[in-house]
Amino acid sequence: MFGEDGVKKLASFAVVLSICSLAAAEVSIRVCLADGNTPLEPADANTPFVYRDIMVGTKLTIIVASDAAGSWAGGLYIEGIDRDYGVLSARDDNDATPDCEGSRLEAVGLGAQVLDYQDGLSSGFELSSHNTAVPGDWFIIDYTATQVRSCRVAFYDYPALDENRDPDDKGIPIDEFPMGIYELVFNQVPTRDFDQDGTVGLTDLAILALYWGAIDRSEPDWCQGADLNADGRVDGADLALFADYWLEKTQ
């Protein structure tokens, strides 16, 4: 087995491999708004996978695609305390089977699987294509922002098993270490959709106007959310924060 230094080096090596994997673009991820078509912009064009601020309650779609055919395995997970700030969900979860078939897209092959995974440290989905998979969009997983703070979603790209590997090798099995590891980072801010109808619009502006000038230092209401910067007063600073999301949809 590897010592502590060896594990650290292996972890660093995994990060390097993940960058190479992304460059090759055999398996890739894109994040869209709830419509599944409109890309969520990065906060900085030079920093991929760290996205612009989204409101609490916003729903996103995470699409896993491939430009190569054949078998592949990986996963999407929220780990540790991040599970308090965001939720991953699959589509057409069938209670009779562990497979969430609605999150499998046509190109991934009939024998592909999307399996719910939960343990004491992480929650998410294990993804595997079938050897009949063809290039295209393979999986779609939904994400919902639940609380203010950054939330990280980890993407794992597992290496294929080496069929020629010596079965007497007692080291760490190759399939126990992800070949590609990288994180999607969602920065989440208070909602401006005060009436929770899915769009920041006139009703929400009316709610902000209702509390204009109000002083309310009580949590967690903060003037029905209108005190966006939580400074105890609804004023021009809150209006400016509200305007940043005018007509934006959360679902």
249: in domain: no
- Total structural domains in the chain? 2
Q: Domain span at residue 14? A: 4-189
96: in domain: yes
Together in a domain, 227 and 175: no
248: in domain: no
Give the Cα separation of 2 and 112 in Å (integer): 33
111-117, long-range: CB < 8 A, 24+ apart: 112/138, 112/139, 114/90, 114/139, 114/141, 116/90, 117/75, 117/77
> What does the pLDDT read at residue 217?
63
Write out pLDDT tens, residues 13-64.
333 334 334 444 488 999 999 999 999 999 998 888 999 999 999 999 999 9
State pTM to two decimals: 0.81
For the domain that residue 137 is a member of, what is the CATH number?
2.60.40
Degrees to nearest 5, angle at CA 216 with 212 and 221: 95
Together in a domain, 78 and 155: yes
Write out pLDDT tens, residues 108-156.
998 899 999 999 899 999 999 999 999 999 999 999 999 999 999 999 9
Give the Cα separation of 41 and 31 in Å (integer): 9
Tokens at 151, concatenated: 């939330």
